Amino acid sequence: MNQSTGIRSVQRVDARHRYEILVDGRRAGLAAYRDRGAQRVFFHTEVDDAFAGQGLGAELVQAALADVRESGKRVVPVCPYVAKFLKRHGEFADITDPVTPDVLGWLEEELG
Ligand SMILES: CC(C)(COP(=O)(O)OP(=O)(O)OC[C@H]1O[C@@H](n2cnc3c(N)ncnc32)[C@H](O)[C@@H]1OP(=O)(O)O)[C@@H](O)C(=O)NCCC(=O)NCCS
């Protein structure tokens, strides 16, 4: 099994509207969002192929959602991977808002 043993960390990069997961200081994945008032709308998550299937996606989303809670914000899981994560991790149910047509329309405009 090609399990990564590198040191992992997750950082929020406000200027790029995303969280990044680093392995030994190298960016291995990201979770992109836009803020809609108190809602942090997650719309895309990706992990580099070289690091796929090692749980990095889950680690990244776990840390991102903990940061959302700490920031007093709420989560909207447009990204299917984040949605799947939330189904498995009920501890974030209290800060999760549904994906509505309003949110999707707003996101489309935001992303141009
Ligand atoms: C989705 C992705 C971020 C997962 O990263 P990862 O580090 O390999 O994820 P983990 O090891 O934590 O988890 C793997 C799980 O993700 C699931 N998964 C993979 N692609 C998925 C997708 N598009 N939507 C939902 N779940 C997905 C796998 O089925 C696996 O599920 P399991 O735990 O039931 O076996 C990565 O595969 C990727 O970058 N994919 C291409 C971009 C993409 O499709 N992003 C998601 C939609 S925006």
User: Architecture of domain 8-111 in CATH?
Assistant: 3-Layer(aba) Sandwich (3.40)
Q: Which atom of ligand 1 is the closest one to the Cα of 58?
A: 12
pLDDT in tens, 70-99: 999 999 999 999 999 999 999 999 999 999
Domain residue extents for the chain: 8-111
6 lines ligand 1 (CB under 6 A): no
At residue 5 the predicted structure's pLDDT band, cuts being 50, 70 and 90, is: confident
Q: Which atom of ligand 1 is the closest one to the Cα of 49?
A: 39
- Ligand 1: which residue has its CA nearest to atom 3? 46
79 lines ligand 1 (CB under 6 A): yes
Strands 39-47 and 74-77 turn out to be parallel
Q: Which atom of ligand 1 is the closest one to the Cα of 81?
A: 25
pLDDT in tens, 30-40: 999 999 999 99
- Ligand 1: which residue has its CA nearest to atom 38? 46
pTM listed for this prediction: 0.93
- Measure the CA–CA gap between 91 and 62, rounded to whole angstroms: 11
pLDDT at 3 > cutoff 80: no
Cβ proximity of 33 and 71 under 8 Å: no
Its sign, for the CA torsion 38, 93, 65, 87, is negative
- Measure the CA–CA gap between 46 and 81, rounded to whole angstroms: 9
Cβ proximity of 65 and 75 under 8 Å: yes
Angle CA(97)–CA(103)–CA(104) in degrees, nearest 5? 125
- Measure the CA–CA gap between 29 and 84, rounded to whole angstroms: 17
Instruction: State the distance from the centre of ligand 1 to the C-alpha of 95, rounded, in angstroms.
Output: 22
Instruction: State the distance from the centre of ligand 1 to the C-alpha of 57, rounded, in angstroms.
Output: 7
